[in-house]
Amino acid sequence: MIAELRQYKEKKVKVGNIEINFAEAGKGVPLLFIHGWTNNWWGWIPVALRLKKYFRVIMIDLPGYGDSGRLKSYSLKIEAEYIRLFLEALKIDKAIMIGHSMGTYVVSKFVSLFPEKINKVILIGAVFRGENKKIRLSITNKFFETVQGHKKNRIIGKKCG
């Protein structure tokens, strides 16, 4: 794990009244990773190692996580606003965003508030709330229909399978 960590430049940037910790590597289109509730940027290392050849991978510690500063209060809206400010501080107009677990909620809120800042969205381990199994099944089926309908996704699936 230590060798993998050395491949990333860990930095801090002032955002609002706190510092946001993040790590980055690679060049190209920005790919912003948003971690889950019990994680920080380190959790993205295995995925980012493979993607840094093709993208500028940026792995953030959300406010209140990892080595980022703490806030007085938290909400999805507040986290989304800090991500917007973070992107502005790095002079990034648009990014591809990847969210995992709780990070899917943060990314979804960001998209609803700042759709012009998004190229694409990837949600991993998204949690669908509610007791309506029919809606959850419909969403899951739509996801798999979309994935299976794209040639590149079939190729990736064959390579990973």
**Does the pTM exceed 0.85?**
no
Backbone angles phi, psi at 82, to 5 degrees: -65, -35
- Selecting from 3.20.20.120, 2.30.110.10, 3.40.50.1820, 3.40.50.720, what CATH number does the domain 2-127 have? 3.40.50.1820
Decide: helix, strand or coil at residue 14. strand
Please tell me the predicted confidence (pLDDT) of residue 138: 63
More confident residue, 145 or 73: 73
CA distances to 14, 43, 93, 159, 160 from 90, rounded to whole Å, are: 10, 22, 9, 34, 33
Tell me what the mean pLDDT of segment 27-48 comes to.
Answer: 91
Domain ranges of the chain: 2-127, 130-161
Confidence of residue 123 (pLDDT cuts 50, 70, 90): confident
pLDDT digits 0-9 by tens, 60-114 = 999 999 999 999 999 999 999 999 999 999 999 999 999 998 898 899 899 999 9
Mean pLDDT lowest among 11-25, 100-114, 141-155: 141-155
Please tell me the predicted confidence (pLDDT) of residue 148: 58
